Amino acid sequence: MTVAPIRWGILGTGNIAGRFTEDLLRLPDHSVVAVGSRSPRSAEVFAGRHGLPRGYGSYAELAADDELDVVYVATPHNVHHSAARTCLEAGRAVLVEKPFTVSAAEAHDLIMLARERKLFAMEAMWTRFNPVIARLRRLIGDGAIGQVQAVYADFAVNFPYDPQHRVWAPELAGGALLDLGVYPVSFAWMLLGPPDQAHAVLSAAPTGVDANTAIVLGYPSGAVAMLHCGLRADSPQTATVIGTTGRIQVAAPFWRTDSLTLLRDGLPPETFSETPVGHGYTYQAAEVAARLRAGDLESPLVPLDETHDILRLLDSLRRSPS
């Protein structure tokens, strides 16, 4: 049986908008119908490059296109809230890049609006749909390493210092924690749930955004998480989950991994590998399609309340003394 393709609109014409569009175009049951940009010229160039039928010179015009099933919001973080709000108010479902918004308050507003309008919404926390990460969750759920005691994960990148670039610019909600730290924090949350203790040490860039940040989380079970993110140096970008009877090492980059190794007491190591399809965003696109076709308003793998609670944690970590 053939199914009607999911019709996507792309909001923004930057780096990730292009990469996600390339992945959508690899999938037979998705079509990319339109792009919206702040500038008509950028919309035209992006539409031409990817062979899209329509390019709009404003986000509002994109949102008003009623032939779209869902809009992918791919702007700097500080614009996610207003752009997603424009889409939801126009009746469009949304997939919003990470971090969903720059604060829990903004996330709350979007979540309430999506629920009120009965529209699907999800943060693009694509790592959760990676098949190796799905295997990791199954292994831990099956007790392969006993009770989880600790999670280590890091995501630091040596970004050349440029106060105009969105990762360094406070006016674009830059900083390591919001841009990169959201991955290890979300990873630990996926495995351990909400922490009951949270501490961070943040080292600031000259622009004032956090540039080198360590996070320690504690959980009611007694487990802990040790996480790091930064903008000044390349870290291993691995993740390790340590349990009472073994551990699992997730290969770099853990946020787009292609393998994990299970190390169990007294047993030979076992490695599970799977090469991501395309740039790795295809699984996330498939999840959005499945949820839209089922009439669901959110994904159980990236629940909206959890997105909100993670942002509340990031809010509190950013208030830590630097």
Ligand X SMILES: NC(=O)c1ccc[n+]([C@@H]2O[C@H](COP(=O)([O-])OP(=O)(O)OC[C@H]3O[C@@H](n4cnc5c(N)ncnc54)[C@H](OP(=O)(O)O)[C@@H]3O)[C@@H](O)[C@H]2O)c1
Chain residues 191-230 in contact with ligand X, contact rule CB under 6 A: none
Which member of 8, 9, 10, 12 binds ligand X (CB under 6 A)? Answer: 12
The answer to whether 88 touches 60, Cβ cutoff 8 Å, is no
Which member of 26, 38, 137, 199 binds ligand X (CB under 6 A)? Answer: 38
Q: Rounded to whole angstroms, how far apart are CA atoms 243 and 26? A: 38
Minimum CB distance to ligand X smaller for 123 or for 306: 123
The answer to whether 102 touches 181, Cβ cutoff 8 Å, is no
How many residues belong to the site for ligand X (CB under 6 A)?
A: 22
- CB-count burial class (<10 Å; 0-12, 13-18, 19+) for 182: buried
- Asked if 102 touches ligand X (CB under 6 A), the answer is no
Minimum CB distance to ligand X smaller for 6 or for 84: 84
Which member of 69, 179, 210, 306 binds ligand X (CB under 6 A)? Answer: 179
- Asked if 316 touches ligand X (CB under 6 A), the answer is no
Question: What are the residues whose beta carbons fall under 8 Å from the beta carbon of 174, sequence distance 6 or more?
Answer: 165, 166, 167, 168, 207, 209
Among this protein's residues, is 98 annotated catalytic?
yes
- Asked if 98 touches ligand X (CB under 6 A), the answer is yes
Chain residues 230-259 in contact with ligand X, contact rule CB under 6 A: none
- Local structure of 151: helix, strand or coil: strand
Residue 261 in tokens: 């190794």
Minimum CB distance to ligand X smaller for 106 or for 247: 106
Of 80, 85, 98, 128, which one is the catalytic site residue? 98
Which member of 5, 14, 146, 278 binds ligand X (CB under 6 A)? Answer: 14
